[in-house]
């Protein structure tokens, strides 16, 4: 009887709204069918560094097959992918209205990042799927990671101009929701020292960035000398250490977008060349991080092998890249040369 009661409690607790809960929107891996009607051309031309939200319509088909529609705000976001020479279609931010989304799948969602294809074409749709999968890779390694939800989005130009176009996209969990899931708070210190970072989490992040071939990140500094670059910090209220959580992976070698270049400080020629930029830590700390990758190896390969829409060419290229990583960490000489000996 006692065991049965304990099992019941373990089943019920995640649904109570306490730490550990995944919002329903991000609790499924099934693609969500979405339609967005917005001033798409205006969004693409908007170069304002602080763009205003524009009115748009957002519709999706819920689990019962019923179409739900909301009035939302929409604006471009990001930096590099807003440059015309890089992308035709900028990443977007969606602003939902609480009163309209109440008691729907988007209940309690406010502002969400939307990642869309950079340009038209099959290869750019593959890049969207690949970046989505990188987020899910980190989900396999730690709960301190952003959840994502894949979408099949039909974009319609406001006023009925042009033809509707459908492509994969994905939304990213709100940073405060992500922090609360682990019982933490989203923190925004102006500066941070490496000793203030959680040792295990920062080491895992460093190995992960090497794993995916990404050098476009920092746990300590960012634009305008503020912390951080392509990562956020979470921690217990008014306490250290900080746990870094990464995002934005389009510059990683595992994806290999045509516009991606490695950081100059990495001293590699292409993003396909890995460069370890993690901090030097005691060997047991590094071993613990590496063991996490070994433990999740099969799940990582399964993630790619079972992803609908991923082309055979993309899959083969990715599997080779994963193989190279595991060959490195399982060969002592390579591990010493490329990771242990390259820490900062």
- DSSP per-residue codes, 176-243: HHHHHHTT-EEE--S---GGGB-HHHHHHHHHHHHHHT--S-BSS--GGG-S-BSEEEEESTT---BE
Query: pLDDT at position 79, please?
Result: 86
What is the overall mean pLDDT for the chain? Answer: 92
Band of residue 3 on the pLDDT scale cut at 50, 70, 90: very low
Residue 20, token pair as written in the block: 């550990």
- What is the average pLDDT across 324-344? 98
Residues 41 and 155 in one domain: yes
Does some domain include residue 183? no
CB 53 within 8 A of CB 61: no
Cis peptide before 28 (omega within 30 of 0): no
pLDDT of residue 107: 96
pTM: 0.92
pLDDT for residue 225: 67
- Assess whether 58 and 153 both reside in one domain: yes
Residue 31 lies in a domain: yes
Q: Which of 123, 149, 177 is the last residue of a domain?
A: 177
The reply to whether 209 and 305 lie within a common domain is yes
127 & 205 share domain: no
Q: Is residue 235 situated within a structural domain?
A: no
Lowest mean pLDDT among 30-34, 89-93, 111-115, 225-229: 225-229
pLDDT of res. 80: 86
- Which range, of 27-41, 184-198, 215-229, averages the lowest pLDDT? 215-229
In a domain, 230, yes or no: no
- Cα distances (Å, whole numbers) of residue 100 to 92, 110, 171, 202, 277: 20, 11, 19, 39, 45
The tens digit of pLDDT for each residue in 178-194 reads 999 999 999 998 889 99
47 domain residue, yes or no? yes
Query: Is 239 or 117 the better-scoring residue by pLDDT?
Result: 117
Of 177, 209, 231, at which residue does a domain stop? 177
β strands within 106-158, DSSP E: 111-115, 148-157
Of the three residues 177, 208, 242, the one that is the final residue of a domain is 177
**Average pLDDT of the segment spanning 65-91:** 93
Q: Give 4 or 110, the one with higher predicted confidence.
A: 110
Averaged pLDDT for residues 15-26: 68
Residue 237 lies in a domain: no
For residue 77, give the 3-state DSSP assignment: coil
The position carrying tokens 């069918």 is 33
Residue 190: inside a domain: no
Residue 99 has pLDDT above 60, yes or no: yes
210 and 135 housed in the same domain: no
Same domain, 261 and 306: yes
Q: Which domain holds residue 327?
A: 195-218+252-342
Check whether 26 has a pLDDT greater than 70: yes
Looking at the fold, whether 121 and 210 belong to one and the same domain comes out as: no
Average pLDDT in the 202-228 region?
A: 92
pLDDT of residue 21: 82
Verify that 48 and 81 share a domain, yes or no. yes
Residue 139 banded pLDDT, cuts 50, 70, 90: very high
- Respond yes or no on whether the N-terminal peptide bond of residue 197 is cis (omega within 30° of 0): no
Say whether both 147 and 257 belong to one domain.
no
With 70 as the cut, is the pLDDT of residue 17 above it?
no
> For the chain, how many structural domains are there in total?
2
229-233, 238-242, 272-276: range with lowest mean pLDDT: 238-242
Residues 110 and 205 grouped into a single domain: no
- State the pLDDT at residue 208: 99
In the chain, pLDDT over 90 holds for what percent of residues? 85
pLDDT in tens, 233-249: 999 977 889 999 999 99
Mean pLDDT of 92-112: 95
Cα→Cα distances 263→32, 313, 323, Å: 35, 27, 24
Residue 145 covered by a domain: yes
Q: Is the pLDDT of residue 226 over 80?
A: no
Instruction: Note whether 159 and 202 are same-domain residues.
Output: no
Instruction: Look at residue 227 in the predicted model and tell me its pLDDT.
Output: 85
- pLDDT band, very low/low/confident/very high, at 19 (cuts 50, 70, 90): low
pLDDT at 20: 66
- Are 82 and 38 members of one domain? yes
Q: At what angle are helices 312-329 and 283-295 packed, to 10 degrees?
A: 150
């Amino acid at each position: 009887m006692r065991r049965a009661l304990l099992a019941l409690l373990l089943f019920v607790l995640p649904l109570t709204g306490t730490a550990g809960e995944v919002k329903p929107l991000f609790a499924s891996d099934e693609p969500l069918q979405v339609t967005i009607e917005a001033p798409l051309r205006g969004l693409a031309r908007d170069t304002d560094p602080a763009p205003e939200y524009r009115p748009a319509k957002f519709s999706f088909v819920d689990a019962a097959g019923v179409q739900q529609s909301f009035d939302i705000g929409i604006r471009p976001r990001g930096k590099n992918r807003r440059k015309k020479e890089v992308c035709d279609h900028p990443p977007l931010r969606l602003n939902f209205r609480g009163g309209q989304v109440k008691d729907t799948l988007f209940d309690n969602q406010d502002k969400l990042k939307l990642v869309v294809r950079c340009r038209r074409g099959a290869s750019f749709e593959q890049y969207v799927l690949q970046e989505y999968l990188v987020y899910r890779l980190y989900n396999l390694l730690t709960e301190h990671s952003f959840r994502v939800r894949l979408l099949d989005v039909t974009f319609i130009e406001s006023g009925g101009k042009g033809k509707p176009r459908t492509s994969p996209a994905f939304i990213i969990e709100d940073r405060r929701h992500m922090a609360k899931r682990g019982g933490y708070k989203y923190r925004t210190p102006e500066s941070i020292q490496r000793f203030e970072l959680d040792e295990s989490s920062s080491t895992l992040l460093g190995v992960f960035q090497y794993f995916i071939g990404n050098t476009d990140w920092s746990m300590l500094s960012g634009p305008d000398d503020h912390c951080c670059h392509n990562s956020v910090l979470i921690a217990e209220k008014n306490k250290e250490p900080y746990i870094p959580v990464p995002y934005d992976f389009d510059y990683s070698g595992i994806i290999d977008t045509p516009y991606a270049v490695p950081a100059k400080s990495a001293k590699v020629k292409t993003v396909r060349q890995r460069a370890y930029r993690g901090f030097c830590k005691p060997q047991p700390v590094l071993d613990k991080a590496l063991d996490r990758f070994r433990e999740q190896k099969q799940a990582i390969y399964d993630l790619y092998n079972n992803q609908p829409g991923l082309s055979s060419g993309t899959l083969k290229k990715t599997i080779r890249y994963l193989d190279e990583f595991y060959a490195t960490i399982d060969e002592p000489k390579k591990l010493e040369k490329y990771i242990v000996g390259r820490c900062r």
